[in-house]
Amino acid sequence: MKAAVFYGKVKIILEEHEYKKPGGDEVLIKVKAAGICGTDMHIYDGAKGASECYPPVVLGHEFAGIVTEVGADVTDIKAGDHVTVDPSIVCNECYECLSGKTAEHFIVL
């Protein structure tokens, strides 16, 4: 698969990457549409952005696609479902995380 990998201030390289089969509670999504937001632009320009970023990394958190494979433990989504994702990294320790106020999983469209 192709990935636009951020290596540092104003340096993004389009690369070919292998992908792994989804683990037990994971899904594989074929991205069909993606957006670029202000956070991505700030990081590209060398600023911190809204969250920590440690290159090399694929930026972008506004995307949607189609599930192509599901892990053995996934029961509420199937291949062919259309989804959007919030891939924010969460701590699972603060009040917001513990009260379920994060979107760490996919949302079915």
Rounded to an integer, what distance in angstroms lies between the CA atom of residue 43 and that of residue 50?
A: 9
Q: Is 42 noted as a catalytic residue in this protein?
A: yes
Question: What is residue 70's three-state secondary structure?
Answer: strand
Give the active site residue among 17, 42, 61, 82: 42
Tokens encoding 107: 């949302």
- How far, in Å, are 29, 65, 73, 90, 99 from residue 53 at the CA level? 22, 24, 30, 13, 25
102 has catalytic annotation:
no
Residues that are catalytic = 39, 42
